[in-house]
A = this chain, B = another copy of it.
Amino acid sequence: MVETTTRDRLVNEAMRLFSEQGYRATSVAQIEKAAGLAPGSGALYHHFKSKEALLAAGIDRQLDRRGAMRDVRALFAGLGDLDTELTLLGRYLFAVLDEETQLLQIAARTPADQSARVAAAYAALVDGLCAELADWIAGWAPHLAAADAQRIAVVAVNALLGNRAGRMLYRGVGAQLADEEYLSEWTTLLAVRIRA
Contacts of A193 in B (CB 8 A): 188-189, 192-193
CA distance A20 to B148 in the complex (A): 34
Which applies to chain A's interface (DSSP): helix, strand, loop or mixed?
Answer: helix
Contacts of A111 in B (CB 8 A): 20-22, 25, 109
CA distance A120 to B177 in the complex (A): 17
Task: Say which residue of B148, B158, B181 sits within 8 Å of A163 (CB atoms).
Answer: B158
**Residues of A that sit less than 8 Å from B by CB:** 20-22, 24-25, 107-109, 111-112, 114, 119-120, 122-124, 126-127, 148, 151-152, 154-163, 165-166, 169-175, 177, 181-182, 184-186, 188-190, 192-193, 196
